[in-house]
Amino acid sequence: MALLSPPHPLPAQFSVSTASLLVRRRPTTACQVCTPKEAVHRVDPSALTLAESLSENELWAAACLRVRSFYQFKPSTFGLQDHRRYLAEREFEAMKERVGGKRKGFRRVSCINASVPLSQISSLSVSDEFCAECKFNKDGEDRMVVGTLDLNQCVSLPDEITGIKPEGIGADFARAYLSNVCVAKELHRNGLGYALVSKSKLVAQEWGISDLYVHVAVDNEPAKKLYMKSGFVYENDEPAWQARFLDRPRRILLWFGIPGLQL
C-alpha cells in the first residue's frame, strides 16, 4: 500500500502547525542531484521521458517526490506518515494552483517531469516506498516520476533576489525562473538533473523566454556544477541579512540566455 496515496480532502479536525511537523525543509530552489556516497542505480536512457505534466495523478507523484527530496524527517516524529501526506497534499494543491494559472504574479508555470516505466525501477534495488509514492499511470502504463522541476514565467519569485535581464519593458514575459528542482536520491548520477534542465530550456524557448534564472544555495556544490555545466553563469548573490532573516543558506543567482531570443 502506498504511504502517500492519491489525495482526498483532509478531515476538518486535522490541523498541523509548522512546529509540530518536526521537519526541516530544504530550499525550494535547491537541486538534489548528487549524493556521492550512495550506490548508483543505472537508468536506461531510452526509457526516459521528459515532458510537461498534464494530469493530476502525475502532479501528485511529483509532489510526493518533492516531499521525499526537500524535507528531512526525524525518525521519532509522531504520526510521520500523516505529516508526510499533509505536506504532499499541500504541495499538490499549490502545484495545481500554479500550473492552472491561479497564482498572482505568474504569467505561466509548468511542472516538467522526468519519468520511466515502473517495470524498470522495479528491477533495481530501490525501496518499495519510493515505488509506491511516486507512481502514476499514463495511457495504461505504470510510470515513476524520478525527477521534477517548475518553470516559472514571472518577473520574480517570492523571497528571492530578482534577475536584471531583460531590462525595461518585456521582463514580465521574457524572464523565467527554475524552482523545486530535484531528482530521486536513489537515481542520482544518471544525468537526470541535466536532462531536466535541458528540457526546461526548450520549453522556455517555446514560450518566448529570453532569460532563464535559477537560485542556488552557496554551499550546494553539486547544483552549482550542474547549472554551470548547463551554461548558467553567475549574476548576483543574496545579501547575508536576507538569508539570516529568512533562516536559510545564502543564495546565488545564476543566469542563462536562451539562444536567438535575447532582447
Catalytic residue among 86, 177, 213, 227: 227
Q: With beta carbons less than 8 A apart as the criterion, state whether 83 and 68 touch.
A: no
Given the DSSP bridges, would you call strands 175-183 and 211-217 parallel, antiparallel or unpaired?
Answer: parallel
Per the CB < 8 A criterion, the answer to whether 143 and 121 are in contact is: no
What single letter denotes the amino acid at residue 190?
Answer: N
**Strand, helix or coil for residue 180:** strand
β strands within 4-128, DSSP E: 23-25, 49-52, 71-73, 106-117
Cβ count within 10 A of residue 207: 18
In angstroms and rounded to an integer, the radius of gyration of the C-alpha atoms of the chain is: 18
Residue of 261, 98, 126 lying closest to 184 (CA atoms): 126
How long, in residues, is the chain? 263
User: CA 204, CA 206: separation in Å to the nearest integer?
Assistant: 5
Q: Among candidates 203, 251, 237, 241, which has minimal Cα distance to 31? A: 251
177 is known as an active-site residue: no
Measure the CA–CA gap between 251 and 243, rounded to whole angstroms: 8
Collect contacts of 243-247 with beta carbons under 8 A, ≥24 apart: 246/159
Tell me the catalytic residues: 227
